[in-house]
Amino acid sequence: MYELYPAIAPYNEGYLQVSELHKIHFEESGNPQGKPIVLLHGGPGGGCPPFYRQYFHPQKWRLVMFDQRGCGQSKPHAELRENTTSDLVSDIEKLREHLGIEKWAVFGGSWGSTLSLAYSQTHPARCTELILRGIFMLRKKELHWFYQEGASYIFPDAWEEYLKPIPPAERDDLLTAYYQRLTSPDLQIRLEAARAWSIWEASTSRLFTDTDLMKNFGQNDFAEAFARIECHYFINHGFLEAENQLLLNVDKIRHIPAVIVQGRYDVVCPMVSAWELHRAWPEAEFIVVPDAGHSMSEPGIRSALIAATNKFAFNS
């Protein structure tokens, strides 16, 4: 079982202006002469907490992390304008060029796996390896499962709390009902919806419910960016061109060494999506963690991810 590396501080951080409206916060940690890797966080809208650095050998990796548009320390906060998947893919390239990196490994979980697939399929020549966790391809069946009907059967107690901001008459289309509230000009309406949305995800992310995680996700600043940006992407089907775009384009990345890590009991991003990606991409190493849900902090997932980062750090 692999444990987290000791906590480290970044050796470089700053802001990159990626459009007239948006500037993203980025940081570098580890070894400036190490192998480059970029971490794509979840959400969208989740940001990068410092403990993410601890999944990477600090002498082997040059780790780049950044907060995607509208979240974390990026500005403006919770902004939905000019915030699409193609915008984020473009930001990753701008950041790579800004840092003078020719190629890098890509690490992403949950929404980060979605963005990793979109980025690598757009710029395969820039990717040395892929490490993906909690596969999410932003298809209708995945969104329906978690935000309309499916996960509700496993967590009916948490689901009741998720439903509270939405009147019964609007519950046949919860994404639309939430989107209307999360884009309301009334701050209190936005925050009530944002907290319910975010706590629902926190309630279901781990095999054993973590009340500290629920408390953190319910904080106003985090919840508003997280819920608004997620709902914005989900109601627009991820701004993808086709329902199965990320599966259909696997041939573009088949040659890239990859590891896929999936919790067997992931309720947020059920294993069927990882399985379908595995079937389409058998060349990628596929690891099912038998006693885990969705979170990268769960022991089995944490260990598998660190094993993967070590594998690519030491075998290249």
Positions annotated as catalytic residues are 110, 266, 294
Pairing relation of β-strands 61-66 and 104-109? Answer: unpaired
Tell me how far apart the alpha carbons of residues 91 and 21 are, in angstroms, rounded to a whole number: 13
Q: Which helix (H) or strand (E) holds 120?
A: helix 111-122
Q: How many other CB atoms sit within 10 Å of the CB of residue 314?
A: 10
Strand order in the sheet with 35-40: 12-17, 23-30, 61-66, 35-40, 104-109, 127-133, 258-263, 285-289
Taking CA atoms, 271 is separated from 24, 139, 212, in Å, by 32, 14, 25
Cα Rg of the chain, angstroms: 18
Tell me how far apart the alpha carbons of residues 129 and 295 are, in angstroms, rounded to a whole number: 22
CA-nearest of 174, 156, 153 to 165 is 174
Both tokens assigned to 107? 């690490």
